[in-house]
Copies of this chain bind each other. A is one copy, B any other.
Amino acid sequence: MNQQTDPVPELAVECWFNCEQPLTIGALRGRVVVIEAFQMLCPGCVAHGIPQAQRIRDYFPDSDVAVLGLHTVFEHHDAMSPVSLQAFLQEYRVTFPVAVDRSDPSGTPKTMQSYRMRGTPTLILVDASGRLRQQWFGRIDDLVVGAEVMRLVQERNEVREYAIEETVGPNVGVCDNDACAV
């Protein structure tokens, strides 16, 4: 995968919480996408990752930044079923959409594999053109995260200003086939 030009892999999802219909990364083209990959029984996710994702959701306008959770269970599968996750999201007052990563016989779920994540929490930033721009494993300072999300928001604004000219070019808006839009 060439991070500079290729769009990120689409999410492989078993089911969604906190959203009315399934989302795709492709359909979010035009907005910055923040993905918080977590496990509900991962202490670092609970203490730092999830609250940080919620702070991103609370500060940036939904029209600029989409925040998604991704439940990437690679251990204790029976203990972190969708039933348990649903209660977890309610108790921790998570309001952004959360996808359950599709299970795989290897034990590591499919999206986790396609993004080559090293563990949880992993925080992923996708720019408005659908390209992977940051993938952090572990705890990251809020100052850094706030800055890097805003960098992509501002780039997007630039892109939109240029958009009229760019849309005449032949290679604009590269994206995968089945969901990509905007």
Contact = CB atoms under 8 A, between A and B. Distances in A.
A76 interface: yes
Contact of A42 (B75, B91, B142, B143): B91
Nearest to A144: B59
A78 interface: yes
A122 to B, nearest CB: 17
Contact of A59 (B79, B90, B147): B147
Which secondary structure characterizes the binding site on chain A? helix
Contacts of A153: 151
Interface string A140-173: 0111111111110111001000000000000000
Contacts of A55: 141, 143
29 contacts: A41-B92, A43-B91, A43-B92, A52-B143, A55-B141, A55-B143, A60-B147, A75-B87, A76-B87, A78-B83, A78-B84, A78-B87, A79-B83, A79-B86, A79-B87, A81-B84, A143-B145, A143-B146, A145-B146, A146-B150, A147-B147, A147-B149, A148-B150, A150-B150, A150-B151, A151-B153, A154-B154, A154-B155, A158-B158
